[in-house]
Chain A
């Protein structure tokens, strides 16, 4: 079955700096890679996603890159703000099967 690893487990950055979170997956059949943000006391919320036929996707200050050959994908947050502080989860799934496997999460702290 699919296994998703995520690094680092914790990340502290100064406000305005960039943050990068990296994930690897094991199942080459996975073709959809969403990222979720979880604020304290709330359920995870989808923030960006990428499909296997795309190498990079941007949405304002966040971007995701995918290297299918290496089975790596990464989340990039630029110009970080205190409200970016949260736990971020990557995930991988086969859209035809829809069994979503999450990485263990990264706790991001943005220091004002």
Chain B
């Protein structure tokens, strides 16, 4: 199993550009989330989903959109990139059917907005 796959691994954007960070999981997990990681701030929840067609906002949702049309995919869209969105982004998935509820994380996307 590939687990959670994030693409791209690195991206540089200009202020105002839009882009989509891709996340796919092959574990048939119901739950998926997006986090951003900034120095000294830990992992902050952007958006999450408990199943296909269902999404909700996390701690820092402004400037980001998500959709969950399939169980496998949970893309994160930056509508108009700003320097404050420079960060490392992690996608994660989990399932209440597993023994523990621990998330499986992807390897991250490092985004720089100039």
Residues of A within 8 A of B50 (CB): 98
Range, interface on chain B: 20 to 34
Tell whether A100 is near chain B: CB-to-CB under 8 Å.
yes
A-B contact count (CB 8 A): 63
Cβ of A100 and Cβ of B42 under 8 Å apart? no
Residues of A within 8 A of B83 (CB): none
Cβ of B101 and Cβ of A98 under 8 Å apart? yes
Main secondary structure of the interface of B (DSSP, over half): strand
CB within 8 Å for A46 and B100 given contacts A98-B50, A98-B94? yes
Residues of A within 8 A of B90 (CB): 43-44
Residues in B lying within 8 Å of A, measured CB to CB = 4, 31, 33, 35, 40-45, 48, 50, 56, 58-59, 90, 92, 94, 96, 100-108
